[in-house]
Structure 1
Amino acid sequence: MSTRTPEPPRMSPQVAAEQLTDRMGIQILELSRERVVGTMPVEGNRQPFGLLHGGASGVLVETLASAVAALHTLPDRFPVGLELACTHHRSATEGLVTGVATPLHVGRRTSTIEVVITDERGRRTCTGRLTCMHLEERPGPPPA
C-alpha cells in the first residue's frame, strides 16, 4: 500500500485567469501581439471611499499585459509575472475603465508591457507596467 499523497489537480493558467477576470468584470475587446484592449467596470471594484480600488487597476494591468506576453511566448515559453508597478493619476468613480496594453520590450527571457488605463472621458487614471520572465517549462504547484 502506497502512502504517497496524490498530486492535486492542476488548473490551467487560462482557467484561473478567466475566474478572476469574471469576478472583476474584465472584458477583452482586442487581442493581438501588438496590443490588447480590455475594459473593467468601476462598480463592484471600488475601495471604501467609492473610488476604483488601486488593486483592481493592478489586476487589469496584469491581465492585459500577461495576455500580450503570452501571445509572444506560448507555446515555447511560459510568461510569469516578475514585477508589477502601477502609478495612479486620478480616480475613477463610475462607468468603465479601459486598458490598452502594448509591449515595450519582448526578448527571449523577459518582456515588459505598458498598460494605460483611461476613464470613459479618455482621462488617464493609471499607468502600469508588468515585466514577465519567460520560463522554459510550464509552471506548476510548489513542491510539498
Structure 2
Amino acid sequence: MLNPHLPSPEEFATLSPEALAARLSALPGTLGERLGIRFTHVARDRVDAVMPVDGNRQPAGRLHGGANIALAEELASVGSWANLDVTRQVAVGVDINATHVRGVTGGEVNASARLAYRGRTVMVWEIEVRDERGKLTCLARCTCNVINR
C-alpha cells in the first residue's frame, strides 16, 4: 500500500530539496521513523540524511551495522522514488552491501547517497556515512529495482 504521506509526482517535481526532505522525514509507520532518520536534502541524484546513534547501538555500545545498512537503503529507496511516478511505480532494494570502516559511539551520523546508475528498471546508489567530525564510518552500495504497481 502506498504511504499516504509520500509526496505526489507533482510535489517531487515542484518542492525544493529541503521541503521534500522535511516531508519524507520520519514517515509514520516506517523503519526510518523508528531509527530517527531525518532527511536534509532530497533530489533526483542526491539524498542526504542524519540518524542518531542513541537508540541504534549494538550491545557493545557502537552504532549497529544493521542501522547503517537500513539508513543506506532508506536513502537509496527515497532517491529512487524521486525519479519515479510513485502512483505507477515503486522502487525496492534488491541488493545492498556495506563496509563498516570506523565505529561510532555517540552523536549522530550523516549520510549522503549519490545516484551512480539510472536505468529503466534498475537504479544503483553509492552511500557514504560519516560521523560528526566528517570521518568516514561506512561505505555502502544499494541497487533498487523499479516495479510497476
On whether the aligned pair clears a TM of 0.5, the verdict is yes
Provide the rounded CA distance (Å) in 1 between the counterparts of 2:28 and 2:48. Answer: 16
Q: What per-residue deviation string (whole Å, max 9, x for no partner) do you get for residues 81-136 of structure 1?
A: 11011110110100010000110001001000111000000000001111011112
Q: Which residue of 2 aligns with 1:118?
A: 130
| 18-27 or 122-131: bigger deviation | 18-27
Alignment-derived partner of residue 96 in structure 1: 108
Q: 2:79 aligns with which of 45, 65, 68?
A: 68
Asked if 1:134 corresponds to 2:125, the answer is no
Q: CA deviation at 1:27?
A: 0.4
Runs of at least 4 residues off by over 3 Å: 13-18
The one-character-per-residue Cα deviations of 1:26-77 (angstroms, maximum 9, x if unpaired) are 1001111121100000011000000000000011001111111111122343
Instruction: Tell me the amino acid that sits aligned with residue 106 of structure 1.
Output: R
Larger radius of gyration: 1
Equivalent of residue 56 in structure 2, options 42, 45, 49: 45
Structure 1 unaligned spans of 5+: 1-9, 138-144
Which of 37, 51, 60 is residue 26 of structure 1 equivalent to?
A: 37
* Residues 1:13 and 1:119: Cα distance change in structure 2 (over 3 Å): farther
Does residue 65 of structure 2 align to residue 59 of structure 1? Answer: no
The corresponding residue for 2:10 is none
Deviates more, 1:55-64 or 1:18-27: 18-27
**Structure 2 residue 98 is the aligned partner of structure 1 residue 86:** yes
Cα distance in structure 1, aligned partners of 2:141 and 2:28: 21
Report what 1:140 is aligned to.
Answer: none
C-alpha displacement of 1:11 = 6.0
Q: Give the root-mean-square deviation of aligned CA atoms.
A: 1.9
Q: Could you tell me how far apart the structure 1 residues matched to 2:138 and 2:28 are?
A: 23
Give the unaligned 5+ runs of structure 2.
7-25
Matched, 1:12 2:8: no
- Residue 18 of structure 2 corresponds to none
% of aligned pairs identical?
38
1: CA distance between counterparts of 2:59 and 2:4? 30
Between the aligned partners of 2:139 and 2:98, the Cα distance in structure 1 is: 6
| SS, match of residue 73 in structure 1 | coil
Aligned length: 128
